[in-house]
Structure 1
């Protein structure tokens, strides 16, 4: 809404005979005013106006592309490894997982993408602070920094709104 009010975005009509027509804030207010009463759940109301919640917007301007670098975090390591222990290959919930240094810190292993894998508590305890070849425990997939955003393409339960299908 902020981008629409500032003129940095336009609403794209997602359905009906005017499909793909774009609107600025003023024309969206006019267009959606006729349909507000039948859509009680999907309406933004102010003191003097009511309009449909935009489902699809297009940016009119932007100043930079988002960074392709993925932030190193516990959650993102779990997403990279698909919540799978890299030693026993079982899938666990996030609360039952740990991060393991492939080359232990006390042997010079850094805490970064290419030395951290997801492990379950049992495998992490069994490996302890040993090198992989010392305990014959090698990660299923060699650790590396992902080249994607972890949540890009992630589909929640229940799918996505139908109005997005033609844009994805």
Structure 2
């Protein structure tokens, strides 16, 4: 599975809006520049994010986007699946009925488990965590800090809450 460019840009947009906070109007131009998203792409992405209820779009010269939900209430999975639909790794996972041997096939179970683990991992990461992680990374010069220990700890802690 590979994320679409739209999904990657949507994640960047949501991280940037999460930094600003819930209810704060942020201009399209600011988001495009700071999150490195082409403005024409941002308009389309915003429509999808607004339909999903994550943001509100304000039109006009003083327009922009407003984050509607607290960042800790929005998972990475929700945003990814808003942009690309339900995650699946191949057709037999998406439509088991399309394969005559799907339920007898050992590989089908591997694909299902891989998809489930990916979805679970993305569901455990919220945008407040991503903002926190980004602010930690920003304190180090480029390339000096490569560990994802703090985010992995957050994922592990959230995973334990589900059990």
Q: Same fold (TM over 0.5)?
A: no
Q: Indicate the structure whose relative CO is greater, using CA pairs within 8 Å and at least 6 residues apart.
A: 2
| Structure whose residues are more often helix by fraction | 2
Range of TM-score over shorter length = under 0.3
